[in-house]
Structure 1
């Protein structure tokens, strides 16, 4: 354990050092600070379990420090050493979670007892924290299995009401308002030779890897869930409940992620959009049918769509990057963080970043800067519009920052460009 002594008087710090039997309490390291601000820096970097503090210090005093500790280091145990017998200070100490308020000159027995109690309380709470963490880990490990069982039951009994649906909607609140859904099925029947060799004796690891990759795309934003289908040994099912307009691109992106991560693509069938939950079984069967008909040539994508008329087809890759570019050109004057774009197009930030750079040669923020500056050039041709107004019109709230970006891309300041636009 570690202890921090905070006091602007050196002799008080030395007295605390001498009066406590540190070894008997399991405290191996002791550091000092002469004021509250220094103490905060030490606490942030060092994370002491026990903190002694004076109440009256230059700069940040003990009251402010105690309040900060309560908010930012609540697990630490604090003992106040003060020369002021003031009820207001004692009350603040107790309200801020302090364990004891010891008056100067320091009584050795009182100090020793306070340290003993602080160490015992911290140890007890740490044990409880570790127990809770262990339980959380166990729950988190079991949750995917629980979800697999729930959604397998849903596919097998889509008309079941009551506990099954209420459990699913409790775990996935987004499904409470879902009215349509679609299923994709990943087949593990005809595996690439490299995958067969690598995972021949580790089938569970392959399922784990595939579902994790899928859920990176489906869980943020939450548009669906991938799970191992217990009714068969060779399938992973993706249940999609929102963003269905961009479903083909999302599945294509997932298969590309398989290629990037595992070195191979997989056969994936996609069913049509159906009412949820009543016809979830139908869209699953459509995805299976598309897979069963995959003797047709599906070049690199290995993705098969069940058609509305009962036929099936190989999808063309949606040019989502062109759609993102168009969206940015229409909304360039608004705040466009990557997370917003990812949520808008129901794709992961990582996928959009990588594909955008591949397609355009620049990242999204650079592309947005280019659009804004090109628009600004047009506005600068009108001498009646102030530069501060132009900055705001193209999406910059800070005129100075706008000027820096403008000069970076054009080699001239907005004023210079206004005078000599060509």
Structure 2
């Protein structure tokens, strides 16, 4: 603790220093000055807990000194010393919260008693102030957290007016809001494992909420379904775009994570609140992925919005590469697929999310087809987990090479699964198993000896001769058997017309389908249906 002694007579300062048992009161720093002009600077810089001052200083009266100290550093306790016993002056000094008024010559016991009282008063007031500060802080934090919770409830409960009224009690500026803007920071495009430890998503949400809450006119919370961070702005809040940029920069600096922010235009509140949310989502999903230069997205970025994800257009190449299992072939197919994805301008987050959905569906269909056509696989090891990742580094930055390598790893894992679990060996050894897989997967399309030979870079004569030698069946017969087997499954459903079944299993001519079916099964499709269904088919099934 610090004490400041103020007196224009140096001997008085020396007497005070000698008379007080400073160590007893926990005072380890003693400051002194003989000039009233030095007092304001010393009070500001040193902030002493105790001031012992003469009443009459050149240029500054005792009452002025007390007022000045209380203004600069209110916690300081003051003891006045004087050679004059003016009652009115003493009373005024004590009324201004001066601890004591001691007359000269100084009495050791009286001075120490006054110092003890001053230090005790300081400690009591400091404790009370700390309690009040803690209470105020706790109350503020609880209010801030409650406001966030109320916004989340309002957002997810169809904008209930009762919840909104409670939120306005905490943030009065919202009570007059006639229009709003919505900001959204997406996180769902990044792997969930990134949001752990010091980068837990709740910490990021609270960090953004703190920045918003300080304005008194904005608030943030996490949307529990899509994991995105939603911000509500009072449209009268000044310079909202600049605040959005500050939020993006602060998140990047604090968490080493880059998140773009989609911002809606102003919308009437509360009637168009939901529209504003959709506009913000649209803004962030349709912005160009090179958004490091423009982190806040206000509207659509013109460019290619693919109707069909390229993974569908490239299915043949990807599937063939998986069957062949050659690393170079898989890499080439992936690069062709991604080249198709990025061939236009303005690649967007929405396009990437569509790509991911399409790829996951395609992957599931492939594996299910493999397992269905190899019955023993059902009892063996489970298919490999997905390695697929969108093109974002761990810091959230766009990097297409991340998706390229993850696709290559994933397709390679699927290929290894076929080789290991389904018993497929090296390429030269499993060529005809690959051809069988190809037929099982593409039986509904136009298949011929020539088209399959071209697909696998073989001559028609070699394929015809070798396939029959390896499988015991000609390739045309094999194709027909696969198709007829599938047709038999479909015929057991009386709701599907026979000419539709013919088309679904790869026959454009229904009569030809019936001839092949009867030759293979020994009865017509209609006879098979009657024999295998309890309900008689309608007359127009043919």
Distance 1:248 1:10, change over 3 A: closer
CA distance in 2, matches of 1:264, 1:174: 31
User: For the Cα contact (< 8 Å) 1:248–1:315, is it kept in 2?
Assistant: no
Distance 1:40 1:302, change over 3 A: closer
User: For the Cα contact (< 8 Å) 1:268–1:303, is it kept in 2?
Assistant: yes
Q: CA deviation at 1:131?
A: 2.4
User: For the Cα contact (< 8 Å) 1:185–1:270, is it kept in 2?
Assistant: yes
2:219 equivalent in structure 1: 225
2:276 equivalent in structure 1: 283
Say which is worse superposed, 14-23 or 220-229, in terms of deviation: 220-229
Which consecutive unaligned segments of at least 5 residues does structure 1 have? 307-312, 317-422
2:131 equivalent in structure 1: 131
Q: CA deviation at 1:34?
A: 1.2
Q: CA deviation at 1:3?
A: 1.3
Deviations 1:270-312 (A, max 9, x none): 4454332344234324444666xx4785543576667xxxxxx
Distance 1:253 1:73, change over 3 A: closer
Matches within 5 A, 1:99-118: 99-118=99-118
Q: CA deviation at 1:152?
A: 0.5
SS at match of 2:118: helix
1:61 equivalent in structure 2: 61
Asked whether 1:156 is paired with 2:143, we answer: no
Q: CA deviation at 1:251?
A: 4.6
Matches within 5 A, 1:307-326: 313-314=300-301
Of 198, 203, 213, the residue aligned with 1:208 is 203
2:171 equivalent in structure 1: 172
2:440 equivalent in structure 1: none
CA distance in 2, matches of 1:143, 1:262: 25
Q: CA deviation at 1:68?
A: 0.4
CA distance in 2, matches of 1:198, 1:122: 49
SS at match of 1:39: helix
Distance 1:262 1:181, change over 3 A: same
Q: CA deviation at 1:224?
A: 2.5
Distance 1:71 1:267, change over 3 A: closer
2:186 equivalent in structure 1: 187
CA distance in 2, matches of 1:73, 1:250: 35
Matches within 5 A, 1:383-398: none
User: For the Cα contact (< 8 Å) 1:303–1:314, is it kept in 2?
Assistant: no
CA distance in 1, matches of 2:247, 2:114: 58
Q: CA deviation at 1:134?
A: 3.0
Deviations 1:140-182 (A, max 9, x none): 44444322201011212354334x3333223322212210113
Distance 1:181 1:97, change over 3 A: same
SS at match of 1:112: helix
Asked whether 1:241 is paired with 2:234, we answer: yes
Corresponding pairs, count: 301
CA distance in 2, matches of 1:184, 1:296: 14
* Greater radius of gyration (CA): 2
1:2 equivalent in structure 2: 2
Which consecutive unaligned segments of at least 5 residues does structure 2 have? 304-542
Asked whether 1:72 is paired with 2:65, we answer: no
Say which is worse superposed, 294-303 or 128-137, in terms of deviation: 294-303
CA distance in 2, matches of 1:82, 1:161: 66
2:83 equivalent in structure 1: 83
CA distance in 2, matches of 1:96, 1:4: 19
1:26 equivalent in structure 2: 26
SS at match of 2:114: helix
User: For the Cα contact (< 8 Å) 1:158–1:280, is it kept in 2?
Assistant: no
Bigger relative CO (Cα 8 Å, ≥ 6 apart): 1
User: For the Cα contact (< 8 Å) 2:186–2:228, is it kept in 1?
Assistant: yes
CA distance in 2, matches of 1:296, 1:114: 71
TM-score (norm 1): 0.61
Q: CA deviation at 1:188?
A: 0.6
1:98 equivalent in structure 2: 98
Q: Root-mean-square deviation (CA), in Å?
A: 3.5
Deviations 1:197-216 (A, max 9, x none): 86444442x55346645865
1:146 equivalent in structure 2: 146
2:39 equivalent in structure 1: 39
Distance 1:117 1:287, change over 3 A: same
TM-score (norm 2): 0.49
